[in-house]
């Protein structure tokens, strides 16, 4: 059996530390960070509920039609001769 010295830093332990801190730890912490951010963003922003665009478009069209009818009535009123002229 080989005599192990626990107070000595070997070249293998240096390489293992270098590989762990440069190749293993960063991807793991990046993955944990992305998962954390996804959970936080879902908790802080409620889901967006979009309106029914068919109903919305029909309301807009009804408002446009009413505006056109109003303009036509105003134009017809302005085109008639004044009945009060003497």
Domain edges within the chain? 10-47, 51-78
CA angle 57, 59, 64 (to 5 degrees): 95
The larger pLDDT score, comparing residue 14 to residue 58, is at 14
The pLDDT tens digits of the residues spanning 70-83 come to 999 988 888 886 65
The pLDDT tens digits of the residues spanning 4-27 come to 888 899 999 999 999 999 999 999
| Separation CA 24–CA 16 (nearest Å) | 10
pLDDT at 76: 87
Q: Taking the model in full, what pTM does it have?
A: 0.45
- The single residue listed with the structure tokens 């109903």 is 55
């Amino acid at each position: 059996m080989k005599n192990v010295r626990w107070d000595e830093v070997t070249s293998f332990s240096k390489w293992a530390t270098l590989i762990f801190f440069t190749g293993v730890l960063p991807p793991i912490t990046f993955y944990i960070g992305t998962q954390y951010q996804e959970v936080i963003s879902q908790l802080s922003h409620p889901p967006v509920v979009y309106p029914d665009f068919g109903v919305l478009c029909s309301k807009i069209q009804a408002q446009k039609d009413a505006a056109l009818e109003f303009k036509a009535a105003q134009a017809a009123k302005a085109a008639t001769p004044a009945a009060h002229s003497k």
